[in-house]
């Protein structure tokens, strides 16, 4: 589920959207099954293969479950603290969440991940720690917290998710990204020629004033 640039402020932003500060790092899927976890980058290459406290993620004496008992998390690997920050959940113990709303997926992610011990420090059967990102309703206080609040990771912009959005592969207008120099080290994307895309030029001018006014209220 890849975000589009936020060019216009969506209707009912404060009622229908979530916002959170995106961790800087490598976007990947983490799949746990058959006693191991594997993280893959967007191009399909393997980032890590490791034991994990995720369901069916390590070959311990108490491991159980069928081959269909697999889980898939949408994560960002944050290099400075060697942590996988889970931003979405696609499947949990074989139960698909693709057709569930973002509101339900975020609730399920927050309630289930902590139960596994995956958020605990690394150990013999748990090579990398997982962590959740604070997700806010996109009202004034939530936007302010995501934009200016402290985070345990390096920020790389803000992500906005529509609460009713189902998980989609590829880009979708139901997920949006905002970046500026206050919330990202990487403010400008360029094409293969080193030029700033016209869409992003419009995006910077159109939304920066709206965001500034919202935060000043």
- pTM (two decimals): 0.84
* CATH number 1.10.10.10 is the correct assignment for the domain at 26-132: no
3-state secondary structure at position 6: coil
62-113 residue pLDDT tens: 444 555 589 999 999 999 999 999 999 999 999 999 999 999 999 999 999 9
136 contacts 20 by C-beta, under 8 angstroms: yes
Instruction: Give burial (CB, 10 Å; 0-12/13-18/19+) of 158.
Output: buried
Is 72 in a helix, a strand, or coil? Answer: strand
- Tell me the three-class secondary structure of 130-199, residue by residue: EEECCCEECCHHHHHHHHHCCCCCCEEEEEEEECCCCCCCCEEEEEEEECCCCCECCCCCCCCCCCCCHH
> Is 80 exposed, middle or buried (CB count within 10 Å of its CB: 0-12, 13-18, 19+)?
exposed
Read off the pLDDT of residues 117-159 as tens digits, 9 standing for 90 and up: 899 999 988 999 999 999 999 999 999 999 999 999 999 999 9
Q: Where are the domains of the chain?
A: 2-23+135-216, 26-132
pLDDT tens for each residue of 179-216:
988 888 765 555 445 555 555 444 444 455 455 545 54
- CB under 8 Å to 107, separation ≥6 — which residues? none
Q: What is the CATH number of domain 2-23+135-216?
A: 3.30.1490
């Amino acid at each position: 589920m890849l975000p589009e640039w936020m060019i216009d402020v969506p209707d009912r932003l404060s009622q229908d959207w979530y916002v959170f500060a995106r961790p800087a790092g490598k976007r990947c899927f983490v799949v746990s099954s058959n006693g191991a976890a594997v993280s893959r980058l967007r191009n399909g290459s393997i980032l890590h293969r490791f034991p994990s406290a995720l369901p069916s993620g390590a070959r311990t004496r108490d491991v159980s479950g069928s081959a269909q008992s697999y889980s898939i998390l949408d994560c960002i690997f944050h290099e400075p603290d060697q942590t996988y920050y889970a931003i979405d959940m696609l499947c949990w113990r074989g139960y698909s969440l693709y057709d569930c709303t973002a509101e339900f997926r975020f609730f399920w992610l927050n309630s289930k991940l902590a139960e596994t011990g995956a958020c605990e420090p690394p150990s013999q059967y748990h090579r990398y720690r997982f962590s959740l990102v604070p997700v806010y309703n996109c009202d004034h206080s939530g936007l302010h917290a995501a934009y200016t609040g402290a985070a345990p990771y390096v920020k790389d912009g803000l992500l906005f998710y529509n609460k009713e959005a189902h998980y989609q592969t590829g880009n979708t207008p139901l997920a949006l990204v905002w970046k500026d120099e206050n919330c990202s080290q990487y403010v400008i994307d360029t094409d293969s020629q080193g030029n700033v895309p016209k869409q992003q030029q419009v995006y910077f001018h159109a939304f920066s004033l709206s965001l500034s006014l919202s935060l000043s209220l």
